[in-house]
């Protein structure tokens, strides 16, 4: 099902937060939604690779990468792994690599930008905590809705059955 975040905002503006970051779309799926898992890291892709190794069950991984555009924390190999594990999408407050390959994959991917640089040092990420960026706060289990225009978050699942703009 495709969703339109503007229509969801019009209907549920008292129940959603809109993320104000200027995300770019990178994955082959531009409209995606689901409950989220959160992850906080800085300039290292290994915590994302580890998180994507868990069953996704249609969830969206929300990654607070500190807004860094210096190091790509996600690329084509991790994206393929995320698809195999059943993740619906990845939203990264940071940079990715391998964008031309990632664009061909059936996965929702939003990030702030791209770079050729990859992480050289491994660090520890923090999975499952509350993260915030772009004036939005994400708790594990919150529902995230993303399309070409925006990312919105709700503490509970929204009824899409009569939402204007929702297409099966």
| pLDDT tens by residue, 70-85 | 999 999 999 999 999 9
The domain 5-59+68-134 having CATH identifier 3.50.30.40: the answer here is yes
Residue 14 confidence class, pLDDT cut points 50, 70, 90? very high
Q: Which residues contact 64 (CB under 8 A, 6 or more apart)?
A: 38, 39, 40, 41, 93, 131, 132, 133
Helices (H) and strands (E) in the chain — how many of each?
Answer: 4, 11
What is the predicted pLDDT for the residue at 116?
95
Handedness of CA 105, 70, 93, 147 (dihedral sign): negative
Q: Please check whether residue 138 is in contact with residue 129, taking contact to mean a CB–CB distance below 8 angstroms.
A: no
Q: What is the mean pLDDT of the chain?
A: 94
pLDDT above 70: residue 167? no
Compute CA distances 63 → 4, 8, 67, whole Å: 22, 23, 10
What is the predicted pLDDT for the residue at 119?
83
Whole-prediction pTM: 0.94
CA atoms within 13 A on the CB side of 62: 28
What digits encode the pLDDT tens for the residues 112-162? Answer: 999 999 987 788 889 999 999 999 999 999 999 999 999 999 999 999 986
Question: Among 135, 132, 119, which residue's Cα sits nearest to residue 48?
Answer: 119
Q: Specify the 3-state DSSP secondary structure of 149.
A: coil
Per-position DSSP letters for 87-138, written without gaps between them: --EEEEEEEES-HHHHTTSSSEEEEEEE-S-B--S----EESS-EEETTEEE
Residue 164 confidence class, pLDDT cut points 50, 70, 90? low
Residue whose entry in the numeric block shows the structure tokens 């640089």: 117
What value does the mean pLDDT take over residues 34-62?
Answer: 96
What is the predicted pLDDT for the residue at 121?
77
Residue 166 confidence class, pLDDT cut points 50, 70, 90? low
pLDDT above 90: residue 168? no
Q: What token pair was written down for 117?
A: 């640089």
Residue 27 confidence class, pLDDT cut points 50, 70, 90? very high
What value does the mean pLDDT take over residues 9-20?
Answer: 96
Q: Which residues contact 48 (CB under 8 A, 6 or more apart)?
A: 39, 41, 61, 63, 73, 74, 78, 90, 125
């Amino acid at each position: 099902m495709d969703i339109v975040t503007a229509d969801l905002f019009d209907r549920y503006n008292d129940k959603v937060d809109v993320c104000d970051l200027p995300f770019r779309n990178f994955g082959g799926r531009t409209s995606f939604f689901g409950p989220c898992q959160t992850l906080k890291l800085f300039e290292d892709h290994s915590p994302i690779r580890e998180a994507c190794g868990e069953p996704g069950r249609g969830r969206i991984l929300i990654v607070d990468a500190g807004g860094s555009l210096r190091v790509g924390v996600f690329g084509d190999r991790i994206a393929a792994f995320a698809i195999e594990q059943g993740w619906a999408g990845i939203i990264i407050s940071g940079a990715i690599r391998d964008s031309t390959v990632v664009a061909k994959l059936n996965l929702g991917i939003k990030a702030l930008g791209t770079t050729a640089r990859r992480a050289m040092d491994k660090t520890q990420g923090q999975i499952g905590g509350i993260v915030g960026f772009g004036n939005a706060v994400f708790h594990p289990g919150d529902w995230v809705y993303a399309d070409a225009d925006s990312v919105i978050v709700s503490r509970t699942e929204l009824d899409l059955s009569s939402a204007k703009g929702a297409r099966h």
